[in-house]
Amino acid sequence: MIYLDYSATTPVGDAAIRAIADACKAPGNPNSVHSTGLSSAKMIEADRENILKLLGLDSEIFELIPTSGATEANNLALKGVFERFSPKGKKHIITTQLEHSSIAAPLSALQKAGAEVDFAPLLSDGTVDIEGLEKLIRENTLIVSIGAVNSETGIRQPVEKIARFIKEKYPSVLFHTDATQAIGKVKNDYSDVDMLSFSAHKFYCFKGIGGLIKRKKTVLIPQMKGGSSTTKFRSGTPCSELIHSMSAALSDTLCDFEAKYERVKRLNSYLKNELAKIPDIVINSAQNAVPQILNFSYLGTKSADLQHYLSENEIFISTGTACAAHTDMSAAILMLTGDEEKAKSSVRVSISFMTEIDEIEKLVRLMHNA
């Protein structure tokens, strides 16, 4: 089996497995006040601080709300601040047309509740036109939400620059980024963001755990109510085992990061160059895309048919994001290229530092025969 769908989910690493086994030895409910409960709560707090530190964030300024993943975190961020500030007239939200469905869907729901949503214009490479974005900001703008890395194409948005620009010129506007496809792939400075979402199964941890990081001064309305917890922003008993594994997985992923990143860059360059030699293949990922994601179209062949052909040969790729895998056309590719044929024939190969060169070579050989 050759797995080339790391952006959908990564395999669980040894660090996460060891950590969850260790955490299972401390069975206390972190909401309990007896010694085992307090011990569990203390472990969660240490893991929260470790994750913030690994992301270069000050625990005096930021806090981590553990969630079931980025979808919940995105919903909490968008709905939570809208419910908090919309009664004061702050109802305007700016995003892009490249966002994940866990951004688009809650925004659609918020529009029915009175939200006014605008889409920031994009440059030819798919990145946000910051001057165009600024023209959209108005007095009642509440939040700008822009994903750090697009899950289908790997386009890397200049979130550091956007966050700094908003903080300096429009301090009353919140900036949120869905960093799900960025954390573990590239390093960003998130110190100017107000909120950040992520899922741990993208960096070699278990599914079902992630988080929303926010500035402590940023107030939002909890979306889950009832029952005590270690955070007032998400009710319920936190899973100390998964949180501990998430902390360990992130530590392990970022260890020797530069060497891992350079290895992925070399693999990406080789794959891109070899695919470009094949007639009817068009590379859709721009130069600014992260090296872990390569999107291409095999013109004249439907995405699902190509995926099936490779799957029969034990190579597993994606026709898009796993959360939108059953559509017959990539909305992102259509929006970026304006070409329906490219959108209907696009696939995503996502690699990792764990990917071997012979796996890439087999993919190329099969594409020559497709």
Give catalytic residues, as residue numbers.
323
Separation of alpha carbons 156 and 128, rounded Å? 10
State the sign of the Cα–Cα–Cα–Cα dihedral 89, 167, 191, 10: positive
Strand partners, 350: 5, 293
Phi-psi region of 167 (alpha: psi -120 to 50; beta: other; left: phi over 0): alpha
Could you say which DSSP state residue 149 is in? B
| CB atoms inside a 10 Å sphere around CB 216 | 10
Nearest to 199 by CA among 187, 220, 181, 186: 181
Structure tokens, 327: 């559509």
Could you say which DSSP state residue 121 is in? -
**Segments in the chain forming alpha helices (H):** 14-23, 35-54, 70-85, 101-112, 130-136, 159-169, 240-254, 257-275, 303-312, 331-337, 340-344, 357-369
| CB atoms inside a 10 Å sphere around CB 323 | 13
